[in-house]
Amino acid sequence: MNTLRLPAIMPGRLSRAASLLATIVLFLAALPILTMITMSFGNSDTLEFPPQSFGLRWYQAAWHTFLSPDAGDVLSMGTALTTSLIVAISTMIIATAVSVPAAYALSRYRFRGKALIEQLVALPLVYPLVMLGLSLLLVFNVLPVELGLLRLIIAHVILALPFTVKNCAASVASIGPEFEEAACLMGASPRRAIVDVVLPLMRPGILAGMLFAFIISFNEFTVTFFLYGIDTMTLPIWLYSRTVSSLDPTVFSFAVFIVLVDFALIWLLEKLVGDEGVVL
Please check whether residue 151 is in contact with residue 136, taking contact to mean a CB–CB distance below 8 angstroms.
yes
CA distance 239 to 57: 18
pLDDT of residue 56: 78
- Co-location of 88 and 39 in the same domain: no
- Co-location of 173 and 232 in the same domain: yes
Is 137 within the bounds of a domain?
yes
CA distance 160 to 132: 13
| 230-244: average pLDDT | 83
| 23-40: average pLDDT | 82
pLDDT of residue 214: 92
Give the structural domain span for 263: 76-272
Assign residue 178 the CATH number of its domain: 1.10.3720.10
pTM: 0.80
Is 145 within the bounds of a domain?
yes
Q: Pick the residue with more confidence: 260 or 276?
A: 260
Is 277 within the bounds of a domain?
no
* Res 2 pLDDT > 60: no
- Co-location of 261 and 194 in the same domain: yes
Long-range CB contacts (< 8 A, 24+ apart) of 33-36? 33/259, 36/252, 36/255, 36/256, 36/259
Closest CA to 175 of 156, 203, 154: 203
pLDDT of residue 40: 76
- Co-location of 162 and 261 in the same domain: yes
pLDDT of residue 10: 53
- Co-location of 128 and 89 in the same domain: yes
Is 158 within the bounds of a domain?
yes
pLDDT tens digit string along 139-181? 988 888 888 889 999 999 999 999 898 888 888 887 777 776 7
- Co-location of 231 and 116 in the same domain: yes
User: Domain count of the chain?
Assistant: 2
CA distance 256 to 7: 49
- Co-location of 34 and 120 in the same domain: no
* Res 255 pLDDT > 90: no
| 108-131: average pLDDT | 83
- Co-location of 41 and 178 in the same domain: no
Is 280 within the bounds of a domain?
no
Last residue of a domain, one of 5, 34, 49: 49
- Co-location of 41 and 91 in the same domain: no
Is 115 within the bounds of a domain?
yes
- Co-location of 112 and 242 in the same domain: yes
pLDDT of residue 158: 92
123 Cβ contact list (under 8 Å, min separation 6):
162
Is 58 within the bounds of a domain?
no
Residue 3 confidence class, pLDDT cut points 50, 70, 90: low
pLDDT of residue 80: 84
pLDDT of residue 152: 92
- Helix ranges (H only) for the chain are 11-40, 57-67, 77-108, 114-122, 129-142, 149-173, 177-185, 190-193, 199-201, 203-219, 222-227, 235-241, 250-272
- Co-location of 254 and 185 in the same domain: yes
Is 62 within the bounds of a domain?
no
| 194-220: average pLDDT | 85
pLDDT of residue 7: 53
Highest average pLDDT, of 22-36, 94-108, 194-208, comes from 94-108
- Co-location of 111 and 146 in the same domain: yes
